Amino acid sequence: MAISESSILDALRPIVDPDFHKSIVDLGFVKNVRIESGDVSFDIELTTPACPVKAEFERAARERVEALEGVGAVKVRMTSQTRTSAPASPEKVLPGVRNTIAVASGKGGVGKSTTAINLALCLRASGARVGVLDADVYGPSLPLLTGVHERPTAHDRRIHPLEAYGLELMSMGFFVTEESPVIWRGPMVHGLIKQFLTDVEWGELDYLVIDLPPGTGDAALTLTQMAPLSGAVIVTTSNDLSIVDARKGLRMFEKVEVPVLGVIENMSYFTPPELPDKKYYIFGQGGGKRIADELGVDFLGEVPIDPRVVEGGDKGRPIVVHAPDSHTAAAFRRLSDIVVRKLAVLSARRSMVADANITWVQG
């Protein structure tokens, strides 16, 4: 029997996207099927280059087509067209950015900046174009976290982001000089944030991770109101009992209709190097989950306490670069996968490309 496009599509139809609960064929992911004297090639176009099941799809697709009678060599090309989950912005704020993720927290020092940079690096590692905006104008930490201390340049009134580890970076920390004011007044903060969003040449990005200042002050409010945000994650620690602050944060996002993707609990437990299977919940267990439940949002996962976070942080080497094989790096990769999947579902809902019946998948 001669091999045909429809027999190839039939072979691929059982491959189901775990988030959309539909066949990759029916979702329209399979493209450019070519058959040449038994050799078959086709594209699988994903909704993001950071798709966590990319390798799995590729393997399954190849095996299924190779198993067909009369098929010779099989070539699967994995491509992507990142869908946007960011609301359209009338003022042309961040026009080339498909997904914007705000990393927020009720209070300071819980590891918000650490989470932001490591999530960004995980997204980058999976092939996406990623930027990080350090919107914490009061306590910028991106220069320290990345080891970048240059001053961005401007051409034609456009500010060019700096770069490290393949990420585009922008931070107030790149501009601070001895003469910079110690205290920023509300209107100045507003102006700065606006510049970061409208005057920076971010270019085409799949994801922009935004490190918000803690709480719900001027800068956080300005940013949530001005930036077209796709979703927010809230970082807490287990002993952060401040449900009041967390709730304020949630309300801030609700007001601007930004979905809160969930809560990440940082510095959850400690695993001594000599006891790799042990988890010591030094600050008590389950605080992040409790906050998530109280807020009615998903709990996304735990990140362990790891001295290498501090060590690498001081050297401009975030943990996923500094100790990629650590449990901590793995925790960030898991979280980044969850965030990618949640945003993909949101964007599908937004554009309704995958028509009806998309069910939300719990992280």
Ligand X SMILES: Nc1ncnc2c1ncn2[C@@H]1O[C@H](COP(=O)(O)OP(=O)(O)OP(=O)(O)O)[C@@H](O)[C@H]1O
User: Residues interacting with ligand X, by CB under 6 A?
Assistant: 105, 108-114, 136, 139, 141, 214, 266-267, 303, 305-306, 309-310, 313
Closest separation between CB of residue 271 and ligand X, Å?
11
* Residue 303 near which of ligand X, Mg ion, none (CB within 5-8 Å, type-dependent): ligand X
DSSP secondary structure letters along 154-207: EETTEEPPEEETTEEEEEGGGT--TTS-SS--HHHHHHHHHHHHHTB---SEEE
Given the complex with Mg ion, which of 49 and 288 has the nearer CB atom?
288
Distances (CA, A) of 49 to 149, 286, 337: 30, 33, 11
Q: Which is nearer to Mg ion, 112 or 333 (CB)?
A: 112
Report the amino acid identity of residue 108: G
Task: Tell me which residue has its CB nearest to ligand X.
Answer: 108
User: What is the contact surface with Mg ion in residues (CB under 5 A)?
Assistant: 112-113, 141
Q: Any idea which residue has 């695993």 for tokens?
A: 271
Burial of 273 (0-12, 13-18, 19+ CB in 10 A): exposed
Contact indicator for 234, 250 with CB cutoff of 8 Å: yes
Binding partner of 111, given ligand X, Mg ion, none, CB within 5-8 angstroms per partner class:
ligand X
CB of 304 to Mg ion, least distance (A): 19
Least Cβ distance, residue 207 to ligand X (angstroms): 19
Whether 52 and 341 have beta carbons less than 8 Å apart is answered as yes
* 331/207 Cα distance (integer angstroms): 19
Report in angstroms how near the CB of residue 108 gets to ligand X at its nearest: 3
From 123, 116, 100, select the one nearest 211 (Cα to Cα). 116
Q: Is 264 helix (H, G, I), strand (E, B) or coil?
A: strand
For the bound state, the minimum distance from the C-beta of residue 265 to ligand X, rounded and expressed in Å, comes to 10
Q: Select from Mg ion, ligand X, none the partner in contact with residue 266, using the beta carbon and a kind-dependent cut-off of 5 to 8 Å.
A: ligand X
- Angle at the Cα of 237 (from 209 to 246), degrees rounded to 5? 70
Query: Which of Mg ion, ligand X, none interacts with 264 (beta carbon under 5 to 8 A by kind)?
Result: none
CB of 110 to Mg ion, least distance (A): 9
Least distance in Å: CB of 101 to ligand X? 15
- CA-to-CA distance for 150 and 140, rounded, in angstroms? 14
**Is 112 or 290 the residue whose CB approaches Mg ion more closely?**
112
Shortest distance, CB of residue 170 to ligand X, whole angstroms? 16
Task: Choose from Mg ion, ligand X, none: what does 267 bind? Cβ within 5-8 Å by kind.
Answer: ligand X
Supply the minimum distance, in Å, between the C-beta of residue 233 and Mg ion: 14
In the list ligand X, Mg ion, none, the entry touching 114 (Cβ below 5 to 8 angstroms by class) is ligand X
Q: Do 16 and 6 contact (CB within 8 A), yes or no?
A: no
Residue 118 interacting partner from ligand X, Mg ion, none (CB closer than 5 to 8 Å by kind): none
Q: Which is nearer to ligand X, 23 or 285 (CB)?
A: 285
Judged by beta carbon, residue 20 or residue 174, the one nearer Mg ion is 174
User: With respect to ligand X, which residue has the nearer C-beta, 7 or 266?
Assistant: 266
- Rounded to the nearest angstrom, the gap between the alpha carbon of residue 35 and the centroid of all alpha carbons in its chain is 37
Distance (Å, rounded) from C-alpha 201 to C-alpha 226? 17
305: partner contacted, choices Mg ion, ligand X, none (Cβ within 5-8 A by kind): ligand X
104 binds, among ligand X, Mg ion, none (CB under 5 to 8 A by kind): none
Quick one: 110 or 229, whose CB is closer to ligand X?
110
Find where tokens 């267990």 sit. Answer: 285
Task: CB nearer to Mg ion: give 48 or 141.
Answer: 141
Non-local CB neighbours of 27 within 8 Å, separated by 6+ positions: 17, 20, 354
> With contact defined as beta carbons under 8 Å apart, do 97 and 120 qualify?
no
CB closer to Mg ion out of 44 and 135? 135
